[in-house]
Amino acid sequence: MLAIFFVTFPFFALIAAGYAAARLRLLPLEAIPGLNLFLLYFALPCMLFRFGANTPIAQLLDGTAVLVWCLAALGAVGIAVWLTRRGPQPPNWNDTAFGALVAAFPNTGFMGVPLLVALLGASAAAPVILTMLIDMVLTSSLCLALSRLDERHGATGGRAVWLAARKALQGAAMNPLGWSILLGALASAMQWKLWGPLDRTIGMLGDAASPAALFTIGAVLARSTLLARAAPQRPSRRAALRGVLPVVAVKLLVHPLLVAGLGWAAMRAGLPLPPGAWAVLVLAAALPSASNVSLLAERFGADNGRIARIILWTTVATFFSFPLVAGWVG
């Protein structure tokens, strides 16, 4: 357990450094979009391309891992929706859907890939990359479609749901991370080797991705917290806890258990899922919520303060829970 803690501590320390830098205004809040742009269009695509290109194509086409992750994501979304809407005064579908998204979408891009590779080795890259693609396409599209259900009874209600899902798919198609993964897989399948200077340039950008991404997570969390506190209408402490705690429990407890149980059932049924891949999937599900969900919630008019609190709480709690899950899966 102590060895796992020694591996994970630097990752959370970098998140804390980014949080402190933004809270103390050592890093101007206006600079955070620039950091996100560098990561999204330069550093992370290079890192993911390298992992994809250096991973055998058979590992990137693991049908059992895809099945397990898809079913677990659907289960996490369904449970989060049920917990959110079972009270006497449930929130609207927009807030419900983004709560479900933040419960089922782990921070694999900015945090999961470097952390799991550092913990388990390069073989962890393929399963976690698969989870990223599924969440960018399936999970996001489903939750964005659910966010439009309040408009179902309007003249364009059904069309609104379809447009939301189509918009999510278009967003996934424009995401450079997905394309970098696909290009890396193509390079692996074709056994392409890049020109030496270009390969070193991509390597330098990829090496910068991990520390920059972790620092940026902290800065984004600090900015979201500051903006939420400055909101004119803030919920009471009890209401805030009622809206946050169930989703945090789904993310850090239910989602990993769903992945673990479904993976175990798949192996018992004779489906090809190596124990190492199963461990990677469980650890990916045990990651905190993806920080980019806050940006989506703001864009679609959901309660971004609630989403920011969920992301912050899951990130802080994961500092303690993730080593426990890692020790459990061995």
State pLDDT tens for residues 211-241. 888 898 888 888 877 776 665 555 556 656 6
The Cα 87–Cα 187 span in angstroms is 51
- Give the pLDDT score at 29: 86
> Among residues of the chain, what percentage have pLDDT more than 90?
21
At 67-79, the pLDDT tens digits run 999 999 999 999 9
Q: pTM of the prediction? A: 0.82
Average pLDDT of span 195-220: 88
Q: Does residue 12 surpass a pLDDT of 70?
A: yes
List the one residue out of 58, 53, 60, 206 whose CA is nearest residue 126: 60
Token pair for residue 195? 């020109």
- Give the pLDDT score at 67: 93
Average pLDDT of span 276-282: 92
* Total number of domains in the chain: 1
- The DSSP output letter for 290 is P
- Give the pLDDT score at 296: 77
Q: What are phi and psi of 106, to 5 degrees?
A: -80, 165
Cβ neighbors of 50 (< 8 A, separation 6 or more) are: 184, 202, 203, 206
Work out whether the CA dihedral 146, 129, 185, 196 comes out positive or negative: positive
At 36-81, the pLDDT tens digits run 889 888 988 898 888 878 777 767 778 899 999 999 999 999 999 9
Give the range of the structural domain holding residue 185, as residue numbers without chain letter. Answer: 2-329
Q: Given pLDDT bands bounded at 50, 70 and 90, which one contains residue 155?
A: very low
Q: Does residue 252 surpass a pLDDT of 80?
A: yes
Helix (H) or strand (E) holding 212: helix 196-229
- Give the pLDDT score at 237: 62
Average pLDDT of span 183-204: 85
Average pLDDT of span 295-300: 76
Average pLDDT of span 82-89: 80
Average pLDDT in the chain: 83
Cα–Cα distances (Å) from 218 to 24, 99, 248, 302, in that order, read: 12, 20, 18, 22
- Give the pLDDT score at 153: 46
Please return the burial class of 320, using the count of CB atoms within 10 Å of its CB with bins 0-12, 13-18 and 19+: exposed
Cβ–Cβ < 8 Å for 302, 95: yes
- Give the pLDDT score at 163: 65
Q: How does DSSP assign 90-143, residue by residue?
A: PPPHHHHHHHHHHHH-B-IIIIIHHHHHHHH-GGGHHHHHHHHHHIIIIIHHHH
The Cα 126–Cα 147 span in angstroms is 31
Cβ–Cβ < 8 Å for 128, 60: no
What's the CATH number where 183 sits?
Answer: 1.20.1530.20
The Cα 153–Cα 144 span in angstroms is 17
Q: What are phi and psi of 289, to 5 degrees?
A: -65, 150
The Cα 253–Cα 168 span in angstroms is 27
